[in-house]
Amino acid sequence: MGKFVYDFEEGNRDLKDLLGGKGANLAEMTNLGLPVPPGFTITTDACREYLRTGELPGGLDRQVGEHLATLEAKMGRRLGDSGDPLLVSVRSGAKFSMPGMMETVLNVGLTDSSVAGLAAQAGGDERFAWDSYRRLIQMFGKTVCDVPGEEFEHALDDAKLAAGTRDDLGLDAAALRGLVGRYKEIFREHTGRDFPQDPREQLDLAVSAVFRSWNADRAVLYRRQERIPTDLGTAVNVVAMVFGNLGADSGTGVAFTRDPATGEPGVYGDYLANAQGEDVVAGIRNTVPLQALEEVNKPAYDELMAIMAKLEEHYRDLCDIEFTIERGKLWMLQTRVGKRTAAAAFVIATHLVDEGVIDLDEALRRVNGAQLAQLMFPTFDLSQEPEQLTRGVGASPGAAVGKAVFDAQHAVAMAKEGEQVILVRRETNPDDLPGMIAAQGILTSRGGKTSHAAVVARGMGKTCVCGADDLDVNLHKGQFTVDGHVVSEGDVISVDGTTGRVYLGAVPVQPSPVVQYFEGTLDAAADPLVSAVHRILTHADATRRLKVRTNADTGEDAARARRFGAQGIGLCRTEHMFLGERRALVERLILAGTPQERDAALAELLPLQRDDFVELFRQMRDLPVTVRLIDPPLHEFLPPLEDLAVKVAVAEERGQDPGHDKDLLDAVRRMHEENPMLGLRGVRLGLVIPGLFAMQVRAIVEAAAQVDGARPEIMVPLVGAVQELETIRAEAEKIIGEHDVDVKIGTMIEVPRAALTAGDIAQAADFFSFGTNDLTQMGWGFSRDDVEGAFFWRYLELGIFGVSPFESIDRDGVGRLVRIAVDEGRAARPELHFGVCGEHGGDPESVHFFHEVGLDYVSCSPFRVPVARLEAGRAAV
């Protein structure tokens, strides 16, 4: 039988897998000698076993009993004792923070008899004791026994109505005692039993409920969104209660050792006097800045500052904390390395370097590509002076424009219709999560930077303004009023999560400062954030082994990518050069009845293609440019079958000659494929349509001859057998031989067979570039154009994968094909060069994989280039 329970003295911060983040850090603080209320943690092992079997593991009962006895001895009180009760909180705490997604039960141990003891402890404060008891029944009823929360809410409203007050604080001891009676009735009506009067039974039931809350809908959804594994389970922390609601010399707060929004140094926090911790996080009452505490309780404030300095020094990073002051005495309830905005992550990392706390390698580890991508989002262009409605707290940066919506479900429905929406609420709670995910941004009228809305939005990288307290939000009418304006559901508003400003109408957006810096229009020194990005990215460049190229098929994209740091083009898809006005030439090519007609069409395409390549080679002078020969089936360039058939039928019906359309229709019918993705495309076109690839090769070679510093590489798509490549190579070499240019010839590895015969294919290739889009499509047998919307939700729900394999490389399957091809290709031909040009080349997780398997470069879209540079650096430190 294992050990399922740890006193705080027994744990430490490295035990997050076992004790969860909260438990591990409570242990760490306890061992640092900080004032943590005594308690113990029940492990995630116990949770996993409970979720698997539906029963608490054998021995847990006894272990909890032993640790509870130790806790009672420390406190000199017994759980639920009628004269002098010990009360405990039962709190969830998983390895990764999931703010508000799981359950917590406070005041466990209160019963009909111990409520008097609690009043005595509180100096005869009966009101406090009855209020604590009614909170327990409410939380316990809802969380442990699934009693509908509104029942309690309504009873509370009725009690306030009867007492003629609008505020909870207006209820006196007698009213609260009456309310407890009513709550117990509600409890009985819904559960068929009395509210448990055995304190230990309360504790055990609460522990099981917290375990079960791991699988609550909102927790499941949050994990999917944040890519947190589904099988970790949560730990449970049982902690001696301390009370922040014992009067004016008590209170509770949340604080950060630095500003989590901007990263600027200096303690930042919110404080709420005479309240319990849950009140702050829920944003129910508006908090005051932490500095206000200094005025009311200087010793506790000073102690808090000293503790925060100690925590930062110890964790060498921004920490966030939750604390409670009970009758003037400070207690630490939680700490962890704090969540922060993307901007703050970069700024804090470089500040810590300057403060000598960490080195640049560590700074690089502490930021990531997803954060950098967020910093590249556009901001509002305010030059037209849009009408400002109000200003709240900028809680999560970004510029969001959308229709105001006041209900989470409605937000989801509208987003499904393709509408952009802003979710407007008084405050959010975990049930709003689907709406928050669906919305472009979130606006609330209550709560600070530590409210639920703010914490969750920051975690998701979603724009959020909270605490805009001028807003009078009327959820029933579906509108808010501010300063005489009425904004109704469906009206467009613009929300700036950086400044906290909210505007009426759609405000135009402009490039972010970070993008302006990449574009070369903003100096790195001009802005602290840009300068932080510049320093860390420069270090990433100096550190990384992987080169970063771009996927670009126009001069404009190539030029931008080069400004963003691209070291060449890894994929130019030539098919765009067959679109627009050039379609007519492609039609002629397809319809050609004789070799002469075909050659004539190809001859007209040649100079057009050559000009395209000249432009690319110029923009990428001295850097490699990989041009891929045409890949999609040619009929993709013809009009759709149905349209043509109708056109021809209509013409014939009217007795007109459909002429050219009839020929086209015949061609489309002739070329129709049931599975075009597996049909006549890529190298197969080159083998079947005489002169097509030769024309493209000639255009590349002639363009290269015109541009100094051109470094062309020709890439053949969809190769599955070395013979295919050899045939094309022989044809290309003849043309190249006519000119004095150096051209490499390589192949994509995007058909599984190519990966499995890489040793052979290497004999005919100068380089391999992994087409991980097709390799995923053919490796899994998933149509890349259809499956994501169709059934991936079920795969994600079942945890078959945590993220679409088209987004992030499937290491075990498709990744294995990549590994085989690298190993066997390199063994056959040591000088072979390797890259990747599928979408995965710009995905942070995948970049690390490509570094590990030993590729030479990744290639991605221009805007992803800085992200890939950063992640390639991170992979190397």
Q: Which residues are annotated as a binding site for substrate?
A: 573, 628, 750, 771-774
CA distance linking residue 692 with residue 669, whole number of Å = 21
Of 430, 440, 434, nearest to 412 by C-alpha is 434
Question: CB of 281 within 8 A of CB of 255?
Answer: no
Shortest Å distance, C-beta 748 to Mg ion: 6
Question: CB of 864 within 8 A of CB of 873?
Answer: no
CB count in 10 Å sphere of residue 218: 18
Mark 300-329 as b/e (b = at least 16 C-beta within 10 Å): bbebbbebbebbbeebebbbbbbbbbbeee
843 lines the binding site for ligand PEP (CB under 6 A): no
846 lines the binding site for ligand PEP (CB under 6 A): no
Shortest Å distance, C-beta 399 to ligand PEP: 30
Supply the DSSP symbol for 555.
Answer: H
633 lines the binding site for Mg ion (CB under 5 A): no
396 lines the binding site for ligand PEP (CB under 6 A): no
Shortest Å distance, C-beta 767 to Mg ion: 16
Question: Based on CB atoms, which residue is closest to Mg ion, 724 or 750?
Answer: 750
Strand 265-273 relative to strand 833-836, pairing:
unpaired
**Which range of residues in 16-24, 263-271, 427-435, 768-776 is near Mg ion by CB under 5 A?**
768-776
Task: Say which entry of ligand PEP, Mg ion, none residue 573 contacts (CB below 5 to 8 A, set by partner kind).
Answer: ligand PEP
Is-catalytic flag, 452? yes
Question: CB of 242 within 8 A of CB of 300?
Answer: no
713 lines the binding site for ligand PEP (CB under 6 A): no
**Which range of residues in 426-434, 736-744, 772-780, 804-812 is near Mg ion by CB under 5 A?**
772-780
Helix axes 217-226, 452-460, angle to 10 degrees: 40
Footprint (CB under 6 A) of ligand PEP, residues 760-779 = 771-774
Q: Binding string to ligand PEP for residues 581 to 620, with x set by CB under 6 A, is what?
A: ----------------------------------------
Number of shown-chain residues binding ligand PEP (CB under 6 A): 10
**C-alpha torsion 13→18→23→26, nearest 10:** -30
750 lines the binding site for Mg ion (CB under 5 A): yes
Question: Based on CB atoms, which residue is closest to Mg ion, 204 or 839?
Answer: 839
Shortest Å distance, C-beta 837 to ligand PEP: 5
CA distance linking residue 315 with residue 491, whole number of Å = 46
| End-to-end CA separation in angstroms for the chain | 41
774 lines the binding site for Mg ion (CB under 5 A): yes
Question: Based on CB atoms, which residue is closest to ligand PEP, 609 or 772?
Answer: 772
Question: CB of 523 within 8 A of CB of 511?
Answer: no
Task: Say which entry of Mg ion, ligand PEP, none residue 772 contacts (CB below 5 to 8 A, set by partner kind).
Answer: ligand PEP
CA distance linking residue 756 with residue 217, whole number of Å = 42
Task: Say which entry of Mg ion, ligand PEP, none residue 683 contacts (CB below 5 to 8 A, set by partner kind).
Answer: none
Whose tokens are 């969380």? That residue is: 143
Question: Based on CB atoms, which residue is closest to Mg ion, 18 or 758?
Answer: 758
Task: Say which entry of Mg ion, ligand PEP, none residue 837 contacts (CB below 5 to 8 A, set by partner kind).
Answer: ligand PEP
Q: Looking at this protein, which amino acid is placed at residue 21?
A: G
Question: CB of 321 within 8 A of CB of 332?
Answer: yes
Helix, strand, or coil (residue 718): coil
Q: Binding string to ligand PEP for residues 521 to 560, with x set by CB under 6 A, is what?
A: ----------------------------------------
In order of 266, 329, 330, 344, the CA distances from 529 in angstroms are 17, 39, 35, 8
Shortest Å distance, C-beta 549 to ligand PEP: 12
573 lines the binding site for ligand PEP (CB under 6 A): yes
Tokens of 25: 């850090």
Contacts of 324 by beta carbon, 8 Å cutoff, 6+ apart: 242, 243, 244, 250, 251, 252, 253, 276, 277, 330, 331, 333
144: Cα separation from own chain's centroid: 31
CA distance linking residue 630 with residue 681, whole number of Å = 8
Number of shown-chain residues binding Mg ion (CB under 5 A): 3
Q: Binding string to ligand PEP for residues 801 to 840, with x set by CB under 6 A, is what?
A: ------------------------------------xx--
CA distance linking residue 543 with residue 350, whole number of Å = 17
- Residue 507: CA atoms inside 13 Å, Cβ hemisphere, count? 25
Question: Based on CB atoms, which residue is closest to ligand PEP, 165 or 861?
Answer: 861
Shortest Å distance, C-beta 756 to Mg ion: 17
Shortest Å distance, C-beta 784 to ligand PEP: 8
379 lines the binding site for ligand PEP (CB under 6 A): no
Cross-strand bridge partners of residue 93: 235
**DSSP per position, 167-195:** SGGG--HHHHHHHHHHHHHHHHHHHSSPP
In order of 659, 661, 666, 669, the CA distances from 646 in angstroms are 14, 10, 13, 13
Of 569, 671, 574, 564, nearest to 625 by C-alpha is 569
In order of 14, 20, 487, 729, 834, the CA distances from 775 in angstroms are 39, 38, 49, 22, 15
**DSSP per position, 429-450:** -GGGHHHHHHSSEEEESS--TT
103 lines the binding site for Mg ion (CB under 5 A): no
Footprint (CB under 6 A) of ligand PEP, residues 294-333 = none
Question: Based on CB atoms, which residue is closest to Mg ion, 253 or 835?
Answer: 835
Footprint (CB under 6 A) of ligand PEP, residues 149-168 = none
716 lines the binding site for ligand PEP (CB under 6 A): no
The single residue of 67, 351, 452, 539 carrying the catalytic annotation is 452
**Which range of residues in 59-67, 74-82, 320-328, 743-751 is near Mg ion by CB under 5 A?**
743-751
The single residue of 67, 837, 840, 848 carrying the catalytic annotation is 837
771 lines the binding site for Mg ion (CB under 5 A): yes
Whose tokens are 């992640």? That residue is: 871
Q: What are phi and psi of 578, to 5 degrees?
A: -110, 10
Shortest Å distance, C-beta 749 to ligand PEP: 9
Question: Based on CB atoms, which residue is closest to ligand PEP, 285 or 816?
Answer: 816
The three-state DSSP-derived secondary structure of 475-514 is CCCCEEEECCEEEECCCEEEEECCCCEEEECCCCEECCHH
Task: Say which entry of Mg ion, ligand PEP, none residue 571 contacts (CB below 5 to 8 A, set by partner kind).
Answer: ligand PEP
Q: Binding string to ligand PEP for residues 739 to 758, with x set by CB under 6 A, is what?
A: -----------x--------
225 lines the binding site for ligand PEP (CB under 6 A): no
Question: Based on CB atoms, which residue is closest to ligand PEP, 237 or 574?
Answer: 574
Identified binder of ligand PEP from the candidate list 131, 204, 259, 631, rule CB under 6 A = 631
Question: Based on CB atoms, which residue is closest to ligand PEP, 571 or 585?
Answer: 571
Question: Based on CB atoms, which residue is closest to ligand PEP, 75 or 775?
Answer: 775
CB count in 10 Å sphere of residue 831: 8
Annotated binding residues, written as ranges, equal: 573, 628, 750, 771-774
Tokens of 817: 């094909």
Is-catalytic flag, 860? no
Q: What are phi and psi of 437, to 5 degrees?
A: -65, -40
Question: Based on CB atoms, which residue is closest to ligand PEP, 348 or 548?
Answer: 548
Identified binder of ligand PEP from the candidate list 571, 689, 716, 764, rule CB under 6 A = 571
Tokens of 330: 């400070």
Q: Which residues bind ligand PEP (CB under 6 A)?
A: 571, 573, 631, 750, 771-774, 837-838
Q: Which residues bind Mg ion (CB under 5 A)?
A: 750, 771, 774
Catalytic residues: 452, 837
